[in-house]
A and B are shown apart, each in its own frame.
Chain A
Amino acid sequence: MFWQIDLAILTLVVVTAVASLMVKDLLGAAILFGAYSFLMCLLWSIMGAVDVAFTEASVGAGVSSVFFVAAVFRTSRRTKD
C-alpha cells in the first residue's frame, strides 16, 4: 500500500467525476462514469474492502455503464451542459 498510488487514484477519481459531468456528450459521460466507478473500485480494494470492490466492479462499472449506454442509445447524446 503506497500512499503515492493511493493519492493518485483519489485525485483521478475527482478528475473523472468532474470530467463526466463536464463533457458535452452523454455517451462520453456514460463511459467516463464507468471509468470513475472502476477507479473507485480500485480504491476500495486498496482499502481492503474486497467484497465492496467486487460488487462495484460488477455493478457500478459493469451493469450501470451498460444501462447508461442503453438509455443514451434510446434517447439522444445531445446535452447543453
Chain B
Amino acid sequence: MAELIPTIIAKYNYWIYITLMMIGLYAMIAKNNLVKKIVGMNIFQTAIILYYVSIGVKKGATIPISTGGHGAVHEAVHAADYLNPLPHVLMLTAIVVGVATLGVALALCLRIYSRYNTLEEDEILAQIRKK
C-alpha cells in the first residue's frame, strides 16, 4: 500500500483520463437518449486529448513559444526549456475533428427527431417495430 500511493500521485493525470474515458464509453453504450450519447462521445474524445496533453508536460519547462521573439533568430534555444509542442499540434487537430463529428451527429439527431418525434432510442425502436 505504501508504494502504491506515490504511483497514484505520480500519474494522477493518467488515472483521471482513464476515468473520464470510461465515463464517456459507458454513456455511449448504456444511455438511452441520443443527445446524451453525443455528450458521452465528446467526453470520450476530450479524455484522449487530456492524455495527449499530459504527454507533452515537462518539468521545469515553459509554454512552447520562444521567449526571444522575432529578433532572436541567432540565439540558441534549449529544448529543455520548452514544453513538447508536438502533442499540442496533434490535439488541435483532434479538437477540430471532435467539433466536426459533433455537428454531424447533431444534424443526424435533428433528422431523426423530425421523423420519429422523440430522441429516446427505445421509443424509436418501438415505433420501427410497430410498422
On whether A14 and B23 interact (CB within 8 A), knowing A40-B46, A40-B50, A79-B33, the answer reads yes
A-B contacts, 14 listed (Cβ < 8 Å): A17-B43, A21-B36, A26-B119, A36-B43, A47-B57, A48-B57, A49-B83, A52-B49, A56-B46, A56-B95, A60-B98, A72-B35, A81-B33, A81-B36
Instruction: Give the distance in Å from the alpha carbon of A79 to the alpha carbon of B27 in the complex.
Output: 14
Binary contact track A38-81/B, C-beta < 8 Å → 1, others 0? 00100110011111100110011001100110111011101111
Whether A17 pairs with B88 at a CB distance below 8 angstroms is: no
CB atoms of B88 and A52 under 8 A apart: yes
Per-residue 0/1 for A2-36: is the Cβ within 8 Å of any B Cβ (1 yes, 0 no)? 00000100100110011011000010011001001
Instruction: List B residues 1-60 near A (Cβ within 8 Å).
Output: 12-13, 16, 19-20, 23-24, 27, 31-33, 35-36, 39-40, 42-43, 46, 49-50, 53-54, 56-57
Contacts of A63 in B (CB 8 A): 99
Q: Is the CB of B23 within 8 A of A48?
A: no
Q: Once bound together, how far apart are the Cα atoms of A18 and B24, in whole Å?
A: 9
Question: Which residues of A are interface residues toward B (Cβ below 8 A)?
Answer: 7, 10, 13-14, 17-18, 20-21, 26, 29-30, 33, 36-37, 40, 43-44, 47-52, 55-56, 59-60, 63-64, 67-68, 70-72, 74-76, 78-81
Cα distance A59–B42 when bound, in Å?
12
- In the bound complex, residues from chain A placing their C-beta under 8 Å from that of B119 are 26, 75-76, 78-79
Which residues on A sit within 8 Å (CB–CB) of B46? 36-37, 40, 56, 60
Chain A residues lying within 8 Å of B124, measured Cβ to Cβ, are none
- 1/0 per residue, CB under 8 A from A, across B69-80: the answer is 000000000000
